Every structure is written in structure tokens, then in C-alpha cells.
Amino acid sequence: MPTENLLSIKDLVLHFNTQKGPVQAVDGVFFDLGYKEAVVVLGESGCGKSSLAKALLRLLPRNVSKYGGQVYLEGNEIMGMDEEQFRQNIRWVRMSLVPQAAMNSLNPVLKVGDQVAEPMIVHHGVKKEEAYNQAAKMFQHVGVPVDFLDRYAFELSGGMRQRVAIAMALVTAPALVILDEPTSALDVLTQANIFNVLKRLKKELEVSFVLITHDIATSSELADRVAVMYAGQIVEVSDAHRFFSEPLHPYSRMLMASVPRLRANVEPEFITGQPPSLLNPPKGCRFASRCPKRFAKCTEEPPVANVDGIQVKCWLYTS
């Protein structure tokens, strides 16, 4: 296995059982991420982003019907590990998560300092005092005044609570932090602040991020790489610079064109229709019903083409 990548995901699958049949929430996801890099997983609501985060951390609900694929973290395949190994060495130790809406799920009756210190005590078995010192250090990194350690969540603003949630994920010094929509519930100014914090953390702590979001504009600030998700699948993986200059997949292009830009003469566009149901996704390209470039081939599943290092799942790019 090549070890130059911190993370390498191959054909990750997570399906859920429902009364109507299996939901293919994650269906063949792949991408790589280097050390000290951030990859943005871009996709719209319901495309499977949160399920991807759960699949990576093995935080699975009971109704899983299919779960498989390979995930290499720091050179080790982690999908094959047994639960005990995974719990002791991976989850919250080398890889942690800031769940969607984390800032609203802090424990209301515990001081936030205790909550941030807790993972150190549970997963690293350190003494309470040492854990507290480590928590204080993390507060400084994320820009929360240290005297806030003794406060309760309700005494903090939304932006401060989100910083606490990020500190909690960082306190065990993992190599990889997955952030699920970390700023979508926040106002623009607070969003900008959190992104400045994340940019600083990436430099100071040598940590890598998987940033899951539907917000293209904000994501461009932190991204080194971009993975676009549509209906449970990855349709484009690119480096950020090339992606934000000129995305290749028709879905990526239309998504980019729908972002309103300030003082622009062009009006934003929109994509007609809606994504297919993940219960019974179409056989061919999942974007076909909304794609302006669709042609005869598109009724078959497109392969992943490699265009100068950019991976695109679209028939237009197969030669």
C-alpha cells in the first residue's frame, strides 16, 4: 500500500435497510488524502455525506444492510480490524469527528472543559489534571478564552460552542479530523471566523481534515483537494486549484454556476429536477436525468476516467 497518503478510500459502501428497501447512501466512494491536507467532500442534502462520515468512523446505526470496502489510514487497512482494535487504535485516537450540529449536542449539565478533557481520560487513560491542561491548550488553539473551561454550553454563543466541539475532536491529537457541515448553522461572520480557525489549526497542529459540506464557496478557503458526491457516489476528485478554476463533471459545473457571486453581471443558474432516490437509483449515470450533456452511452454506468490526474465519473471523458 502506498504510504504517501494519510487516507485512502476504495469502494466504500454503506447501505441501510428500510421498509421500502435498501437505501444506497454510500455506494462506491473513493478518494485519497495526503498528510496535512484538507479534502472537501461537496454534495447536496441527502447525497450521503453524513453516512460517509459514519462509515469512516464505524459509527453505524442498527439497520445497516451492507458495509464494506477498504480504508487505509496511515498505511493500515482499518475496515478489516475487529471492533476492539478499531476502538483502541482508530476511533477518537487517530481519527475523530465533529458531527453535524455538534454545537447543539454538547452536554448541557457538564462544564465544557470537562467535556473536552473527557476523550483524553477515556481513550488515553491520562489523569484528570493532565487532561484538563490538554483541554486548556486546545481552547487556545481554537480561540476560546481559557476561563470558559468552567462554563456551561448554554453560556456560550453558537460560534464558541462550535469551537468547543472542534477542540473536543482535536484533544487526542488525531491525524485526521472529519468535520460534518461545521459551519452551516452559523452566520456569515461566525463562519468566516471558524474557517480562519481551521486554517490556523491545519498549520499549527499538522492535522488533516475531511471537510464535509454543501457550501462550495466557503469550502474553497480550506481545500487542497475536492471530492464531489452525488447520489451516494463520488463523481469527481480533483485538486482544489483546478477544481475551483474549472470543474470537469457536468454536475460540478452546474453546481458551481449556481453559486451567487457578488456584483456579478451574470445571474446564478439552477439545476432542474432533483437527485434520484437512493432506494432505487437509475442503472446508468445517476446524474443523467438532469444532465444537459447526456447522450446514448449515459444509460450505462460511467467508468471513472483519469484526466491529467483528475478523476471524473462521466462518459464525456472516456476516450
Residues that bind ligand SF4 (CB under 6 A): 250, 285, 287-288, 291, 293-294, 298, 302, 314-316
Which residues sit opposite 31 in a β-bridge? 9
Instruction: Tell me the closest approach of the beta carbon of residue 52 to ligand SF4, in angstroms.
Output: 20
Which of ligand ADP, ligand SF4, Mg ion, none interacts with 61 (beta carbon under 5 to 8 A by kind)?
ligand ADP
Give the C-alpha separation, 180 to 42, whole Å: 11
Residue number, 141 or 297, with CB nearest to ligand SF4: 297
Residues 42 to 101 in contact with ligand ADP, rule: CB under 6 A: 43, 45-51, 61, 63
Q: Supply the minimum distance, in Å, between the C-beta of residue 319 and Mg ion.
A: 36
Beta sheet of 5-18, edge-to-edge order? 21-34, 5-18, 64-73, 76-77
CA 268 centroid distance within chain: 26
Render the burial of 34-46: b for 16+ CB within 10 Å, e for the rest. Answer: eeebbbbbbbeeb
Q: In this structure, are residues 140 and 197 in contact, taking their beta carbons and an 8 Å threshold?
A: no
How many residues belong to the chain?
319
Does 18 interact with ligand ADP (rule: CB under 6 A)?
A: yes
Dihedral class, residue 258 (left if φ above 0, else alpha if ψ from -120 to 50, else beta): alpha
* Under rule CB under 6 A, residue 29 binds ligand ADP: no
234 strand-pairing partners: 229
The answer to whether 66 and 14 are in contact (CB under 8 A) is yes
Q: Does 189 bind other proteins (CB under 8 A)?
A: yes
Could you say whether residue 23 binds ligand ADP (CB under 6 A)?
A: yes
Site string for other proteins, 90-129 (x = CB under 8 A): ----------------------------------------
User: Is 154 near other proteins (CB under 8 A)?
Assistant: no
Q: Provide the binding-site residues for other proteins, judged by CB under 8 A.
A: 44-45, 157, 159-160, 187-193, 195-196, 214-221, 240-245, 254-256, 258-263, 267-272, 274
Q: Provide the binding-site residues for ligand ADP, judged by CB under 6 A.
A: 16, 18, 23, 25, 43, 45-51, 61, 63, 278
